[in-house]
Amino acid sequence: MRIDVLTLFPEILESPLKASLLGKAIAEGRIEVGLTNIRDFALDKHRTADDAPYGGGPGMVMKCEPLYAAVESLRDQNSLERVVLLSPRGRTLNQSIVRELAAAPDLVLLCGRYEGVDERVAQGLCTDEISVGDYVLSGGELPALTIIEAISRMVPGVIGDFESVETDSFYDGILGAPQYTRPDEFRGMTVPSVLKNGNHAAIARWRRKEALRATVARRSELLQQSVPEDQALLAELNEEADGAGLENGPEARR
């Protein structure tokens, strides 16, 4: 898969793209990432890529001409069928969108800056807008890295054992289960015995149940996507909660 990133500050992305599993995947050719400096397509000697907004107001707006020229320069190496603007008004990134993007052969990520991009870029050039959350960043570079990292995990061979991806939080719509490693006991806290008995079916059931428990407690809205097989485990969690309520209620304290 190829991902092209258009940015005013390619140096923000250069170092992270060389690190860890993502850097290894790029070095091995499993995923290709190209960085294009938008200023290289400015029309004046000062490499101006922004201007004051029509109608007045604070800040600057990224200009049409350099952005269109930068994207169109990629025609020989990118289909340009998916040009994504990183924007606070876009679809909020989730694992479903990551899978959608990962299924494409290539992708263009356009990093906004300042007060945003000229609306004609969003309307006439971009095919999608994506946000990484309801908060303010200085530009789209960090969201672009987030998307690249998430997509790379879906590319075969990037993660050595694909099962480790399948157990990630949100992979199948809910949070992940708790994880433990050595030592068996630490400051009075012990590893659940089920994880040490070698019964893989029991371990899988425990992990699914604990993943559901975490989701109920922290992100209950995700359970709208739960599968029918989870209903028995959810019923058990409800019974446990009801039992805990009785134990802690007025009768238990008399």
Residue of 4, 10, 50, 88 with catalytic role = 88
Residue of 32, 100, 149, 168 with catalytic role = 168
Classified as helix, coil or strand, 130 is: strand
Residue of 32, 100, 106, 115 with catalytic role = 115
Q: Quick one: which H or E segment has residue 5? A: strand 2-7
User: Minimal CA–CA distance to 144: which of 1, 6, 2?
Assistant: 6
Q: How far apart are CA 99 and CA 95, in angstroms?
A: 6
Could you please report the per-residue DSSP string of 207-228? Answer: HHHHHHHHHHHH-GGGGGG--G
88 is catalytic: yes
Q: How far apart are CA 22 and CA 155, in angstroms?
A: 11
Amino acid letter, 23:
G
115 is catalytic: yes
16 is catalytic: no
CB of 74 closer than 8 Å to CB of 52: no
Residue of 82, 113, 153, 213 with catalytic role = 153
Helices (H), 153-197: 162-166
CB of 38 closer than 8 Å to CB of 6: yes
168 is catalytic: yes
User: Minimal CA–CA distance to 5: which of 41, 32, 42, 33?
Assistant: 33
- Catalytic sites, residue numbers: 88, 115, 153, 168
